[in-house]
A and B are shown apart, each in its own frame.
Chain A
Amino acid sequence: GQQLNQSPQSMFIQEGEDVSMNCTSSSIFNTWLWYKQDPGEGPVLLIALYKAGELTSNGRLTAQFGITRKDSFLNISASIPSDVGIYFCAGQLRSGGSNYKLTFGKGTLLTVNP
């Protein structure tokens, strides 16, 4: 099946630092999504991107839909301890149909040292 290459797999940063993670694919996606998962909980949708080139912010988070439709990045500015968790990218294929299935990356584990 389709795969998203998400990197890095893990990050260890100091509080206050900026963070950047990205996802790439060999396929074209109509939609890119970024989720955050806290331990023992379900993923929470952070940002949804629907147009190539779109740049969207949600507080300290900024995400972009790559112009080729094959990649996306997520930036977190001025990280704080509660940013700790696993961040997933997800995409919906252009030919996805009405089942709205998503393809997920394997996640980036973020650790923030106070």
Chain B
Amino acid sequence: SQTIHQWPATLVQPVGSPLSLECTVEGTSNPNLYWYRQAAGRGLQLLFYSVGIGQISSEVPQNLSASRPQDRQFILSSKKLLLSDSGFYLCAWSVRPGEQFFGPGTRLTVL
């Protein structure tokens, strides 16, 4: 069966510090991968998606970047965090149209 992992689960970072969130998927090959941000417990905003290694599409202009160094690894990064980057970050995977499966999420607080 497929599983998706995200770490860390919780992160508190000062403004201006770098960020690296990791997402890995097990039990499937060549998945589409997605990064979402959820603010205040409502509304999922798609940030990036990837249909293959090294292929990244950005949905909204922002302070973040994404990379996919391996088939089942998706990384969300920032060089300098802003207060507005705080939120709940969710990774998801899909191998067929119409279904996405989410990870447990990372709670990021920027102070």
> Could you list which residues of chain A lie within 8 angstroms of chain B, going by C-beta atoms?
30-31, 33, 35, 39-45, 48, 50, 86, 88, 90, 92, 96, 98-102, 104, 106-107, 109
Contacts and interface: CB of A to CB of B under 8 A. Distances in A.
- Name B's interface SS: strand
Interface in B21-58: 32, 34, 41-44, 46, 49, 51, 57
Contact of A86 (B41, B98, B107): B41
A31 B96 CA distance: 11
Contacts of A90: 100
Interface centre among B98, B105, B107 (most CB of A within 10 A): B98
Interface residues of B, number: 24
A101 B105 CA distance: 19
B61 interface: no
B104 interface: yes
Contacts of A109: 42
A99 B102 contact: no
A99 B46 CA distance: 12
